[in-house]
Structure 1
Amino acid sequence: MSQNAMKRLYLMQVGSMPEYQIPIVCYLVQTGDGKNILIDSGLPEIMPEGESEFENGQDVIEQLASIGLKPDDIDTVISTHYDIDHAGRHAAFTKAQYVVQRVHHLDAASNPRFAANRPQWDQPMERIRLVDGDTELLPGLELIETSGHVPGHQSVLVRLPKTGAILLPIDAVPFGKGFTRDEQDDGSNPDAEAIRASTIKLLDLVEREHIGLVIFGHDKEQWEGLKKLPEYYE
């Protein structure tokens, strides 16, 4: 295994949406040469006023501490998108480079959806790496542009030495039942066409690459059967 190849993937549940009983999660990838790459940062420490649909659990800082990591040990934060349950602790990682799709970062600047969480994601530009579309970040770590949920949403593909390729669709496909070519559009979602295009793109990727594990963004039933930190996939 080359030194900078992917070595481990940790899964963390940092909270939930009590009404729907679904997990709020983030991920940590460690490389062979000791780099720590956080994928999303979960919920904020203190919820903005009026935000009641989320409930905090053990936050990402505590969970990282349980395996001996401090915020300054995180080299990179892959920001899939700036929703409050995915980017709520971004500001804690002051030594990290943030990686986000350019389309998303530019949209967020004027999109009221992301305004309450702006103090977290609006970091100095010298620390933000804007990417355009599908990008190989490191050998074995790929970003996949999957707009629909929001403009410039990105999913992540991690290639591990033993488990093989693991796809993290994040909010492109939050639940396993939606990972199908037969999803019917009932006309209620204006973003349905873009969501469908991203879903098909990921289904094609899974078939082409023979990906054995797809970890959906908020799937409670699947989540209960997965390894969580301190356990890991390797």
Structure 2
Amino acid sequence: MSPIRLYMLQSGTQVCRLHDIKMNQGNGEPYEIPVPWFLLTHPAGNVVIDGGLAAEGLADPRAYWGSSIDTFRIVMSPQEGCLAQLSALGYGAEDIDYVILSHMHSDHTGAVGRFPNATHIVQRAEYNYAFAPDWFAAAAYVRRDFDRPDLHWHFLDGEASDGFDLLGDGTLQTFFTPGHSVGHQSVLIRLPNTGHVLLAGDAAYTMDHWDEKALPGFLASTVDTVRSVRKLHVIADRTDAVVVTGHDPQAWPRFRHAPDFYD
């Protein structure tokens, strides 16, 4: 039986431009961002949240990720793939019961289909959009990550699914936070000693975005993006949660990373 622990992990970095992360900022200045993902262990089941980039793509990045690597160059070793990192923590592929996807951009789908016993949990709107994205978003979705036979999916339906309690005891809840993508969701974790941790995902790229000082460089809807951050502020204030943003190179190193954990 697993104790309740939250592990923070990273599948390398991506080198882009500052304006790709903070809209209209930086004048083309290079910017390197972390690619976080998470493992929650729990007596009722072990949960991977996102999973980072797919290690399978490293052999031929352009063939796997396509033109997106021209904007977001991947810096990652095979040992930083989700399966390798879980193995280093003592977990095999068969030990993961759930995979939660904040959304289905390729830097968040590296765990899909890698765990034979896992139920994959995603917003229905995001899943549907991933198979037929608009032209401006198409490079962000890598179909070979998620278009896999025999996967078990569980779909959530927008705000009606807010507060979805995966493990039945309030340890993990999801909240619909569209804007960065049409079906983005964020995850609220409650730990016995640490208290609440809010995994904002790409609903808030950086603390500048969280603090309403910058819009993200990529979004599906500006209005939804702004309103989702406001919604997350209400959740964070209500629960006194530690906030973890999606790709902040200044904030991310301040957290405790695996093999260390929060409990």
Secondary structure of 2:173's partner?
strand
Q: 2:40 aligns with which of 29, 32, 36?
A: 29
Q: 2:239 aligns with which of 190, 206, 209?
A: 209
The alignment's C-alpha RMSD in Å is 2.4
Give the superposition deviation at 1:51. 4.1
Q: CA contact under 8 A between 1:108 and 1:114: conserved in structure 2?
A: no
2:20 corresponds to: none
Q: CA contact under 8 A between 1:15 and 1:24: conserved in structure 2?
A: yes
2:83 corresponds to: 61
Matched, 1:148 2:179: yes
2:115 corresponds to: 93
Aligned equivalents of 1:210, 1:116: Cα separation in 2: 34
- AA at the equivalent of 2:102: T
Matched, 1:132 2:157: yes
Deviates more, 1:107-116 or 1:36-45: 107-116
From the superposition, tell whether residues 166 and 191 of structure 1 become closer, same or farther in structure 2 (CA, over 3 Å): same
1:104 corresponds to: 126
Any gaps of 5 or more consecutive residues in structure 1?
A: none
From the superposition, tell whether residues 59 and 223 of structure 1 become closer, same or farther in structure 2 (CA, over 3 Å): same
Give the superposition deviation at 1:124. 4.4
Matched, 1:194 2:224: yes
Give the superposition deviation at 1:32. 3.0
- AA at the equivalent of 2:4: K
Q: 1:43 aligns with which of 34, 48, 53?
A: 53
Q: 1:173 aligns with which of 201, 204, 208?
A: 204
From the superposition, tell whether residues 172 and 207 of structure 1 become closer, same or farther in structure 2 (CA, over 3 Å): same
- AA at the equivalent of 2:88: S
Matched, 1:17 2:37: no
Residue-pair matches, total: 227
Aligned equivalents of 2:111, 2:195: Cα separation in 1: 29
Secondary structure of 1:104's partner?
helix
Aligned equivalents of 1:184, 1:158: Cα separation in 2: 26
Percent sequence identity over aligned pairs: 31
Higher share in helix: 2
Residues 95-127 of structure 1, C-alpha deviation per residue, up to 9 Å, x if partnerless? Answer: 211000011111212116268521221244760
- AA at the equivalent of 1:195: T
Any gaps of 5 or more consecutive residues in structure 2?
A: 17-30
Give the superposition deviation at 1:154. 0.6
Q: CA contact under 8 A between 1:41 and 1:88: conserved in structure 2?
A: yes
Runs of 4+ in 1 over 3 A off after TM superposition: 123-126, 182-186
Q: 2:145 aligns with which of 112, 120, 124?
A: 120
2:23 corresponds to: none
Q: TM-score, normalised by structure 1?
A: 0.88
From the superposition, tell whether residues 183 and 220 of structure 1 become closer, same or farther in structure 2 (CA, over 3 Å): closer
Aligned equivalents of 1:200, 1:97: Cα separation in 2: 30
